[in-house]
Amino acid sequence: MAQIDTPRVLTPRTRQARASTAVRQAQHRAWNRYDRPSRITGTVILSLFAAVVTVPVIGLTSFTFRSPNGGMTLDHWRALFAGQGSFIVKELRAGLLNSLMLVAVTLLIAFVVIIPAIVLIEVRFPRLHQVMHTLMLLPMAVPAIVLVVGLAPVFSVTTRIFGTNTWSLALAYGILAMPYIYTTLTAGLDGMHAQTLAQTAQSLGASWHRTLLTVLLPCLRRPLVTSTLITTAIVLGEFTISSLLNRVTLQTALIAVGKTDVFLSVIVTLLVLLATFAALYVCGGIGRATAERNRTNHKETP
């Protein structure tokens, strides 16, 4: 006996859902050609960006091989690696070592104080989000010279207790890096539903420290790497605070050396720039490899 197909009755909610889907599909088709630029436009934009990045580097590299009498020479590179001009090399070495020490201390402050405080407030006290947002972004609106004037009483106390050590600049550098660390971490926390993860871990008996170390921070690997690189770049490139407080860092050493031998100053600047690019490339490759490995493991898991 043949079955008679009866028309399916659609409820008003089903009709509304289908109508909304049709509208979204029509809008997607209408704007699809505007979602990404054409190949020519993309090539032009990438070429301009590559030119903006590479032309200064090529200019710096060419300048380091230039001879004062005209032509090209390797004497400036030999002078740097052979240790000629002991005062200049000693000044650059002291500035570089001080800056690397400041990077380590600033990162220690960031990972011990700033990052746990940001995660704690965003996860446990979401009502303080707006206040935290304002306080964390405030250093971006304060000029460096005003920050030095405000921190002068603090540095006078630390000088009496610890002496005029360069590491105390890390207190100011931590304040300078706070806005960038905050924006990077909050983007990662919002994307992974940190409050839900923290509540689930604590409902299973995990303490706050264990939740932070074993649940939240592993999910923030990429924001943490980005914050580390940004903080390192800020410390290595900062000049105003260290100059006003009479501290020897890489930037103040480059200015002092540039008055005596501008070629060595440019060579060190070029080396630091290339090292920064290499660190960014390596960290980006590690992040992509980790993400790909996690996706592969997730697919293989039954």
Co-location of 213 and 69 in the same domain: no
Nearest to 219 by CA among 230, 231, 211: 211
Give the chain's domain count. 2
Pairs from 108-111 (Cβ < 8 Å, separation ≥ 24): 108/170, 109/170, 109/171, 109/174, 110/174, 110/177, 110/181, 110/227, 110/228, 110/231
Query: Rounded CA gap, 130 and 132, in Å?
Result: 5
Answer yes or no: is pLDDT of 124 > 70. yes
If asked whether residues 147 and 107 sit together in one domain, one would say yes
Do the domain assignments include residue 17? Answer: no
Query: Are residues 251 and 106 both part of a single domain?
Result: yes
Residue range 209-245, pLDDT digits in tens: 888 888 888 888 888 888 888 888 888 888 888 888 8
The pLDDT of residue 1 is 47
Q: Is residue 115 part of a domain?
A: yes
| Tokens, residue 45 | 């934009």
Query: Apex CA 122: angle with CA 116 and CA 127, to 5°?
Result: 135
Residues 170 and 300 in one domain: no
Q: Are both 250 and 111 inside the same structural domain?
A: yes
Quick check: is 101 in a domain? Answer: yes
Name the one residue in this structure whose structure tokens are 């920050």: 147
Question: Is 70 in the same domain as 95?
Answer: no
Same domain, 129 and 251: yes
Q: Is the pLDDT of residue 4 over 60?
A: no
For residue 298, the enclosing domain spans 56-85+262-302
Are residues 137 and 225 both part of a single domain? yes
Residues 203 and 164 in one domain: yes
Q: What is the mean pLDDT of the chain?
A: 78
**Lowest-confidence segment of 38-42, 60-64, 274-278, 290-294 by average pLDDT:** 290-294
Residues 227, 112 within the same domain: yes
pLDDT band of residue 107 (cuts 50, 70, 90) is very high
- The reply to whether 209 and 76 lie within a common domain is no
Best-predicted range by mean pLDDT among 42-51, 241-250, 269-278? Answer: 42-51
Same domain? 168 vs 223: yes
Q: Is 234 exposed, middle or buried (0-12, 13-18, 19+ CB in 10 A)?
A: middle
Longest C-alpha distance within the chain, in Å?
105
**How far is residue 221's CA from residue 265's CA, in Å, rounded to a whole number?**
35
Listed residue (110, 135, 109, 141) closest to 223, CA to CA: 110
Query: Out of 21-35, 211-225, 265-279, which region has the weakest mean confidence (pLDDT)?
Result: 21-35
CATH code of residue 113: 1.10.3720.10
Lowest mean pLDDT among 92-101, 199-208, 222-231: 199-208
